[in-house]
Structure formats: C-alpha cells, structure tokens
Amino acid sequence: MSNSYPEKLIVVPLESKVLLPSVILRLLIRGKQATDLTKSYFRSANTKSHDIYIACIPLKPCHVHAEETAVMSSQAPQVPIPQQDEAGLVSARDRHRLMDYGCLARIIRVQRSGTNLFGVFVEGVSRFQVHQYTQNTPSMAFPGCWVAHVNYFPKPVDVSNENALKFKELSQIFVSKMKELQLPDTLLAQLAKVVNTMPPSALADLLVCLIETTFDERLLMLSTVSLDDRLQKACEFLTRQLHVLHISDNLGAGIDGKLSKKQREFYLRQQLEAIQDELGDDNKKGLSGGPQEEDELSDLHKRLVQANLPNEVVTIAQRELKRIKRLQPSSSEWAVSRNYLEWLADLPWNISGSQQLDIQRSKQQLAKDHFGLEHVKKRIIEYLSVIKLKGDLKAPILCLVGPPGVGKTSLGRSIAQSMSREFHRISLGGVRDEADMRGHRRTYVGAMPGLIIQGLRKCKVNNPLILLDEIDKLAHSSHYGDPAAALLEVLDPEQNCTFSDHYLNVPFDLSNILFIATANSLDTIPEPLLDRMEVIELHGYTFEEKLHIAKTHLIPKQVKAHGLQIEQVKITDEAILHIAENYTRESGVRNLERTLASVVRAKCVEMADLQEKQNKQQYSPSVSVSDVEEILGNTKFEKEVSERESYPGVVTGLAYSGSGNGGILFVEASKMPGDGHLHLTGSLGNVIQESAKLALSWVKSHAYGLKLTSHSKEKMVQDDDIHIHFPSGSIPKDGPSAGVTLVCALVSLYSGKCVPTTTAMTGEISLRGQVLPVGGIKEKIISAHRAGIRKIVIPARNQKDVETDVPETVRGEIQFCYAKNIWQVLEAAFDDHQLYQLQESHL
C-alpha cells in the first residue's frame, strides 16, 4: 500500500454499521473532540492543503448474540454512532468494543446539525488492520482522542478471470432486475454506469452495501484480505438477493408497483415479508420494525397498563396493539394507530386531583382575588360545603354573565385555586366547527380529539375546572355543524358521564369536571344550551368598588409591571375617582387599568429624567387630580345632567345596553301645527316605536283627566304634529323600558310643566296604564347615580332588585319612587303644586 495515507488516525466508532471502500456515509458526531475535528477540516478546506482522514472502526455487538445483530437492513444514508461522552468521540465503555479492522475514511463535507453536533460525510478509501490504540495527551493535537495505529491491506493482485466474469455477469443481471422494478431512470443510468466502469474490487464493496446483507457479512467483507475471496463472497450475496427478487415476482407483481414509489428501506422490508411468507415461518418476528419501533410499542403497552383503562377501552386498546404490530412503521396507518394508543394512554381515566376542601381558606382566597361579587362567592361556597358533607356531588354547570372587564375569566381561575383543582381555559369565541368540540374522526388526515379531551390530557386529572370562555360568541348553524349543539351533551350532568369523542370513539366520564361558562349576553345562547346552565349575573362596578379594586389590585400590578416600587407611585383617591368618572366610563375595569398604566408610565418618565439630571430627590410619588389632567389631557366624559336646564317636553330616562353598561337617555318631544301625525327619530327599533304610539294613545285617552283639554270630547292632537326624538342618533335604541318616560314627556309638553333634570325614570307601560317591570335595574341606577341623578321612578315590581343588587352607598344618595301605574309615575315626576293637581284630577 502507498505510504501517502497516515498510519495514525483519529478513531470514530460505528455502531452496527460497517464502512467499506468507495461507499459514502453520513456520521453524526458531537462534543468538544468533534468540534476540534471539524475545525481541522474547515482549516484544511480553506487552505486547500491536504485531506482530513479518520478511522471508521465498527464496534463489537454489546450484550447481543451474533444472530440478533444480523438485522436485515441496507446501508442507511445517515449512520448513528454510539452515545459519546460530552467531550469524547469514543466513550469509556466503547473503548473495549473497538474491533481490529476498519476503513480509512476521507472527510468530504461537514454540516452543523446543532450545538456541538455535526453531520460529517465520509468516503471509504482503504481497508486496514489496527495493531495498537493510544490516547492523545493534553499537549498533543486533538487532546483526549483515541488514535489507531494501522497497517493497510496490500494492493489487490490480479484476480482469476472466472471470479471476475461471474461477478460481472451477476452485476448485470442485478441491474436488469432493478429496471423491472421501474426505478427512476436517472438512478438506473447511474447504476449501469457504475457497473460498467468501476473495477471489480470497488464494485464488490459498493454492491454489498446496496443489497440485503447482515452486519457480520459486511464485517467479513471488510476483514477479507484476498480480492478473490471478496469476489466469491460478493457473488454469494448477489445470488441470494436475485433469488429473493425471483420469489417476490412469483408472489405477485402487485407489490412491485407499490415499491416503485417508496423509499429503498420500505422496498427491502417488503422483500423481507415476502421471504418470511414463502418460508411459512409462524414464529417470525413481528414486522413492526426494528429494535427502536419494538421499544416504542413495549413502552406504549406499559403506559396503557398503567393508565388503568376501563374494561371496554382495554378491549379496543388490545385490538389496536395487535393491529399495529402487523403494520410497517413507514406506513401512515402505523402512525395513526400509535397516536390513537398514545391518546388512550395519556388520558386520566381514573386519576383525580386531590381536593383540599377548607371552607374558610376558600372564602379567603375568593375575597383576596375579587372584590364584591358576593352572590357568586356564595354559590361556590354552597357547592364546596355540600361536597365536604356528602363526599360526591355532580358538579354544577355555571354560566357567569356580565359586561366586559368585570372579572368573569379571572373569577374562574380564582374558583379553581380555592377548590385546589387544576384549571384549563377553552376560548370558544369564533369556534364554528362541531369537530372542535367532539373531535375529528380518525379517517381524516391530521385528526385529533376535541378541545375537551385535549384539556383533560393537559390537566392530567379527570376533575379539573374547565372554563368555557365567551360561550355566547359561538358560531351557529354553519355547514361545519353547530358547536353549540355539540356542547349540549358536554354540559348536561345526566349525560356527560358517557361522553364519546369522535376521535376516541369510546365513552369518557366528564361528570367530575366543574364547567364554568362566561358570556357577555344571553341573547345569542340557544335556549336548550342555556337551560343546562345555572346563570349567575355579574353586574358592573360602582365607583366605590372601582376605587377599591384600583387601590388593591390594579395600581400594585401596574407599578410592578413598570419596574417601580409601590411607594414610588401614590395616586390619591380623588385622582382615581376622577379617572373613573371622566376618562373611563365603563362597567368593568379594563380601560381603568389601561389609563392607570398611562399614569404610571408618566411617573416612570419623570423619574428617569430626574435620574439623568441627578435630581432624584425632587421626585414626588403623589398623583393628584391636576396631575391626572396634565398627564391624560382633557376629560373624555362630562356629567350630562348637572349643566342642563329643565324644558317642557324633555324627560330623562334610563337605558341599558346588551354589553352590560347602563346610561341615561333623554327623550325630547315637541309639537307643531299639522294633522295629528307622530314622528319618531333617533335610530329606534320596532319595540320602542310601539311604546311611543302606546304612550300617545294613553295620553290622548286621559287628556281630560290630565287637564290637557277643556272638556272630555275635545281631541288633543287633532291640529298638531308631534315629533319625539332620542339624542345620540348613531346609537341604535330599542326595548319597552322607555314607556313611562314617553308618557311624562308628552304630558310635560302639553301641560307646559317641566320634570326636574335630576329626576329619571324607567318602566314599561300597558294600554290600561299599568307599569310593568324591566331589566338591568342595577346598571341603570348606577349609571344614573354616576350622572348626578338623585330621584328615580321605577316599577314597584322592581323594588326587590333595588334592595338586593344596588349597593347601599348608592341607595342612600338616591330617592326611589316605586310606581304601580302611570298616575303614580306622574305624581312622582312633577313638583308639589303639579302633584296636587294631578292627584285631584285622578280622583
């Protein structure tokens, strides 16, 4: 052999693989020594000085019999190497597994595959025998690396013509057999060129790596010195391979059509299956793949056993395990079955989280996280008390309804903490596919379970608290199905114990889960779904409640988020109330938090400026009302009542929006010469237009009793047109609660008497003059109090709502007049002199 090759080579071990001359492999190496080796290659490549060579030496099988290591597989394009030490190419335990034969390899390309991980492409050059292993000292190049001292095999001498001709003939037959498999033309052309031009010594090594050979057979080819002997072995292997192909043809040409489109590994496994079927080997190894796939299935089986599956699910899992063992790992069905079994193994079929039921601790937790909301806290404490006494109780399905920003979502998390349960949130806003709830059937590509089952897998217990956020935002009746209808079974305590997800296709008990839904409005929730939930309404916060929330929660949160200390920002109570009243008129506290964040940022800027100027002692942490106006600018909202004067025909009503916000609403009535027509403006809906017509009819029928006409036969509006307008015309308005306000506006218009601007009213009327109850009482009263109203007329049947829902601080500053009929509304709306006249006329 030529002396141009080095006799001392850095050792790179190969696990269950053999590198032969003329063959290219990709090795994965890692660690500090790998980094040093690749740096040497890059330096050589940049200077184009010389090639970098290494010794690729196979490892002896570790604790495995020889026949078990003879796994039928081809030379893979990427060769894994044994697990190395953090810095070394050869681990301490692999040092004694190094064989005495190897192949000189030339590094032809290096790719970085990760941190200290490299993919190295090497080309086999020449065989050698190792006569000594040494380890480099720290002062040497490549410190710590193992070095092989090698003797190269002599150059091949002339081979017998008989062996060479036989090998060439078998090689040509092999190429023709490959053409019958309909392989790509480019691949066939390259293979034919190699067979025709490559010398027998190199061709023998190459074909042995292409066909089915065992580790021991390739090792024998590596260690054989005589070229004649190597050609004889190669002829034996090729003859066996051609016989296998012949058997495969006899078993059916249909397989070949499939194989032409698959990777080479899949083709070889198909051939292996054909051989085993031909031999009739009943005890053959399962075709689920190599050792890695078998380990996966064994581990999966253990996980299924540990999952403590119900009997019905055990039967299905056993059937699926038997099926997957008959499948190929490269097939899509194998991956689908494995994913399905993993889902069965990961679900908490009988795993419940421990509930540390401490009623007092739960009360303290709820009080700490949320201010007010007493009726919600009361319901949760009732549920926990029953659980503690009885031991088991079907969890209620709660639905928290209220305007944005009042703490519905955070309340669900707080409830989970108070009950010591796992918490999982599912956002339903915009969900339009029924499969998102029930899961996709496994026949579809990329199928997975629904959101409920996914949440259980993440929580790892079967009794979490699942928050169904924004349940009123579900899309309904699309061509993907109705997700709201799919929730009917989930939210029914009598049915969800046998909930069946389309993906799992087995029943799963959801009765231990505490479901809490949140919504801004009940109008868009279907009646059957709403019937399954216990509705708890969360109302907007009063100014006093917002003050308390800002001081205890919002300001400390924003101060911490902006890197300040709590003593570095002190916002006065007057400033907080000024922000809430004049900058953030809302039911919740989201805008209040954003506005407070703006104030805190302004203090951050002030402190940073003073620090740069080294005048930090001039910093003042206090924030007053004037500071707020300087930071936030002009106020965004003004009190609509205090600056107004009373006019005949103008009355203040109360309004309620679907988002949970209340407000005051002005009704303006005027008359003009005409033909008795009624004109309504202000973006009004059908119901409120009907209320206006009803109010006019009642006033016309009682005009004489109201002293609006001089005798009972006189027509009140025969020669007048009446125009009723609701300001803020861009905002749609509807509902029956403006009935009493419309009556008072018409009476005020024709009597010339004014209703005080600090008096407001709400209520529906009937044609007989009855005042009917309305909704949104708390929001209306709080908004009226915010606007400066000090007297409110409401239906008598809403008195209980005032006493239970309205805060005592608000009730103490407002005079409430409860009316059963319109006459009592009119008596409360006008001053004392007018009150006497109306009472007299009514009597």
Per-residue model confidence (pLDDT) at position 277:
53
Percent of the chain clearing pLDDT 90 (strictly above): 24
> Rounded to whole angstroms, how far apart are CA atoms 349 and 457?
10
pLDDT-based confidence at 667, cuts 50/70/90?
very high
Query: Residue 483 corresponds to which amino acid?
Result: P
**Per-residue pLDDT tens for 79-126?**
444 444 455 788 877 888 899 999 999 998 888 877 778 888 999 999
> Rounded to whole angstroms, how far apart are CA atoms 373 and 361?
17
> Rounded to whole angstroms, how far apart are CA atoms 432 and 481?
7
pLDDT-based confidence at 491, cuts 50/70/90?
confident
Q: Is 622 a catalytic residue?
A: no
Where on the phi/psi map is residue 307: left (φ > 0), alpha (ψ -120 to 50), or beta?
alpha
The mean per-residue pLDDT over the stretch 430-443 comes to 86
The answer to whether 409 and 425 have CB atoms below 8 angstroms apart is: yes
Q: Name all domains of the chain by residue range, CATH numbers in brackets.
A: 8-152 (2.30.130.40), 161-279 (1.20.58), 291-346 (no CATH), 395-537 (3.40.50.300), 543-632 (1.10.8.60), 650-842 (3.30.230.10)
Query: Residue 612 corresponds to which amino acid?
Result: E
Cβ neighbours of residue 187 closer than 8 Å, sequence gap 6 or more:
none
Does the pLDDT at position 767 exceed 80? Answer: yes
Does the pLDDT at position 567 exceed 70? Answer: yes
Does the pLDDT at position 647 exceed 60? Answer: yes
Residues forming the annotated binding site for ATP?
A: 402-409
Per-residue model confidence (pLDDT) at position 729:
76
The answer to whether 487 and 529 have CB atoms below 8 angstroms apart is: yes
Does the pLDDT at position 697 exceed 80? Answer: yes
Per-residue model confidence (pLDDT) at position 248:
60
Per-residue model confidence (pLDDT) at position 409:
87
For residue 429, the cross-strand partners are none
Per-residue model confidence (pLDDT) at position 64:
45
**Encoding tokens for residue 693?**
């017509």
Burial class for 384, CB neighbours closer than 10 Å (0-12, 13-18, 19+): buried
Does the pLDDT at position 149 exceed 90? Answer: yes
Does the pLDDT at position 150 exceed 80? Answer: yes
> Rounded to whole angstroms, how far apart are CA atoms 797 and 255?
82
> Rounded to whole angstroms, how far apart are CA atoms 285 and 290?
10
pLDDT-based confidence at 760, cuts 50/70/90?
very high
Q: What share of the chain is helix, strand, coil (3-state, %, to 5)?
A: 45, 20, 35
Per-residue model confidence (pLDDT) at position 259:
43
For residue 481, the cross-strand partners are 478
> Rounded to whole angstroms, how far apart are CA atoms 527 and 529?
5
**What is the DSSP secondary structure assignment for residue 550, as one 8-state letter?**
I
The answer to whether 325 and 520 have CB atoms below 8 angstroms apart is: no
pLDDT-based confidence at 419, cuts 50/70/90?
confident
Q: Which of 171, 248, 337, 737 is catalytic?
A: 737
The mean per-residue pLDDT over the stretch 606-631 comes to 87
Q: Is 737 a catalytic residue?
A: yes
Going by DSSP bridges, is the β-strand pair 507-508/423-427 parallel, antiparallel, or unpaired? unpaired
Per-residue model confidence (pLDDT) at position 334:
86
Residue 721, classed as helix, strand or coil, is: strand
Question: CA torsion sign, 375 to 377 to 383 to 389?
Answer: negative
Q: Which of 478-482, 563-567, 769-773 has maximum average pLDDT? A: 769-773
Residues forming the annotated binding site?
A: 402-409
The mean per-residue pLDDT over the stretch 467-475 comes to 89
**Encoding tokens for residue 808?**
């005592």
Q: Where are the beta strands (DSSP E) in 248-406?
A: 398-401
Longest dimension (CA), the chain: 140
pLDDT-based confidence at 601, cuts 50/70/90?
very high
> Rounded to whole angstroms, how far apart are CA atoms 513 and 394?
9
Q: What is the C-alpha radius of gyration for the chain, rounded to an integer number of angstroms?
A: 43
Q: What are phi and psi of 274, to 5 degrees?
A: -65, -40
The answer to whether 222 and 103 have CB atoms below 8 angstroms apart is: yes
pLDDT-based confidence at 779, cuts 50/70/90?
confident
Per-residue model confidence (pLDDT) at position 842:
47
The gap from C-alpha 620 to its chain's centroid, in whole angstroms, comes to 44
Q: 140, 143, 145, 168: which is closest to 98 by C-alpha?
A: 145
The answer to whether 794 and 662 have CB atoms below 8 angstroms apart is: no
Per-residue model confidence (pLDDT) at position 343:
92
> Angle 723-729-735 (CA atoms, 0-180°, nearest 5)?
80
**Per-residue pLDDT tens for 299-339?**
888 888 888 888 888 999 989 888 888 887 777 888 888 89
The answer to whether 744 and 829 have CB atoms below 8 angstroms apart is: yes
How many CB atoms are located within 10 Å of the residue 597 CB?
Answer: 17
**What is the DSSP secondary structure assignment for residue 589, as one 8-state letter?**
S
Per-residue model confidence (pLDDT) at position 743:
94
> Rounded to whole angstroms, how far apart are CA atoms 226 and 206?
17
Comparing 158 with 221, the larger pLDDT belongs to: 221
**Per-residue pLDDT tens for 354-390?**
766 788 888 888 888 888 778 888 888 887 888 778 7
Residue 313, classed as helix, strand or coil, is: helix
Question: CA torsion sign, 323 to 329 to 331 to 333?
Answer: positive
**What is the DSSP secondary structure assignment for residue 540, as one 8-state letter?**
P
Per-residue model confidence (pLDDT) at position 467:
93
Cβ neighbours of residue 109 closer than 8 Å, sequence gap 6 or more:
120, 121
Per-residue model confidence (pLDDT) at position 414:
87
Model pTM score: 0.59
pLDDT-based confidence at 604, cuts 50/70/90?
very high
**Encoding tokens for residue 450?**
């629904």
> Rounded to whole angstroms, how far apart are CA atoms 366 and 416?
10
pLDDT-based confidence at 353, cuts 50/70/90?
confident
> Rounded to whole angstroms, how far apart are CA atoms 632 and 446?
51
Q: Which of 377, 753, 778, 780 is catalytic?
A: 780
Per-residue model confidence (pLDDT) at position 66:
39
> Angle 833-834-840 (CA atoms, 0-180°, nearest 5)?
95
How many CB atoms are located within 10 Å of the residue 813 CB?
Answer: 9
Long-range CB pairs of 453-460 (<8 Å, 24+ gap) are 453/343, 453/347, 453/501, 453/503, 453/504, 453/508, 455/424, 455/426, 456/347, 456/348, 456/508, 456/513, 457/343, 457/346, 457/347, 457/348, 458/424, 459/348, 459/353, 459/422, 459/424, 460/348, 460/351, 460/422
Mean pLDDT, the chain, as a whole number? 82
How many CB atoms are located within 10 Å of the residue 475 CB?
Answer: 15
> Angle 61-66-67 (CA atoms, 0-180°, nearest 5)?
135
Q: 666, 783, 784: which is closest to 727 by C-alpha?
A: 666
**Encoding tokens for residue 209?**
């790596």
> Rounded to whole angstroms, how far apart are CA atoms 540 and 242?
83
Full 3-state SS string of 347-371: CCCCCCCCCCCCHHHHHHHHHHHCC
Distances (CA, A) of 448 to 68, 234, 437, 454, 570: 38, 50, 11, 9, 52
**Per-residue pLDDT tens for 553-563?**
899 999 999 98
Cβ neighbours of residue 107 closer than 8 Å, sequence gap 6 or more:
41, 51, 52, 53, 54, 120, 121, 122
pLDDT-based confidence at 250, cuts 50/70/90?
low
